[in-house]
Amino acid sequence: MGNSNSPFYQRLESEIFFTEQSIKRRIEVKKDSPNDSKWDNFALNQIERAKTSLKQMNIDDGWKALNAAKRFEVYAMEIPERKAVAIQVDHETEKLNKWRASAIKDIFGHEHKYEEAISSPEVLIKAIEIRDEHFDNRYNISKIAHGYFTLLFALLCISLISILIWFIVQTNQDLNTLSTGMSMIGIITGVLLFGFLGAISSSILFLRKTFIKAGNQDMRILSMILLSKIIISSAFSLFIFFLVKSSLAQQFDIFSFEVSNIFDYLALAFVSGFSERLAQKAIEKFTGKE
């Protein structure tokens, strides 16, 4: 259940109230006018649906129902008001993605005279619907991204705490002894932890870039992309460690640097987890691929 004191809940509650008052005012003004479209019944039904969704804490569905109610109001608008709404929607196309903006501009006409949108409520309603779909999708994307960011930050905290515990266990609370007397299992564990830390850090930056340009469908498959990125990057950090430890690195002159102590291995593991290209370049050089 959500929180009725949250700003998201209160904003929707406020919008429902004022929209309902606006619709009732239009109904009162138009009560003596013919109403073949029955827009008022449809609008009030959507308002009731928005209220029900609000009580169920379904904010997304509440906004969709509220926006639908607002679109039905177009039937009751006079010509000047329809033109004002058309101009507003036209200017809002700057916020939309390319195909939606192009669709709205084609509906209004390239000269932006709005004749058809003004004379036909259905045309204007379609333009508004395309705009509303964009913001509905952005809300969905934001909600999905919020969940991913929360998970990644939790994993980041876990990895940092695990690294701290690993340091304490391996050094018996004496960092000066870290470079000596460490078992192979201890080194591999540290390499994996730092590789995991690099993979999580890289995934957070990757998600930030993806969120800016992602579509709704892109975000649905993002969980598999992030999971595979974390697993593969962590595995690459372990691969780089064994490659550096092997004689092949020297024979094929894969790396232009020398690794002399555990801190070098840990730094290399983080870089390998953060950037998959390091492991890919090492594999290509090892296999002779240009």
pLDDT tens column, 17-72: 999 999 999 888 877 666 656 888 999 999 999 999 999 988 889 999 999 999 99
- pLDDT for the residue numbered 39: 87
Tokens (6 digits) for 218: 């892109």
Q: How many CB atoms lie within 10 A of CB 137?
A: 17
> Bigger pLDDT: 253 or 189?
189
3-state SS string for 156-169: HHHHHHHHHHHHHH
pLDDT band (50, 70, 90) for residue 1 = very low
pLDDT of residue 135 exceeding 50: yes
pLDDT, mean of residues 158-169: 89
| Residue % of the chain over a pLDDT of 70 | 78
- pLDDT for the residue numbered 283: 60
Tokens (6 digits) for 48: 């009731």
Task: Report the predicted TM-score, pTM, of the whole model to 2 decimal places.
Answer: 0.64
pLDDT band (50, 70, 90) for residue 168 = confident
- pLDDT for the residue numbered 188: 87
Q: Looking at mean pLDDT, say which of 38-52, 141-155, 195-209, 235-249 comes out highest.
A: 38-52
pLDDT, mean of residues 140-166: 87
- pLDDT for the residue numbered 159: 92
Collapsing DSSP states into helix, strand and coil, what is residue 109? coil
pLDDT of residue 281 exceeding 70: no
pLDDT tens column, 16-31: 999 999 999 988 887 7
Average per-residue pLDDT for the chain: 80
User: Which of 107, 28, 125, 116 minimizes the C-alpha distance to 69?
Assistant: 125
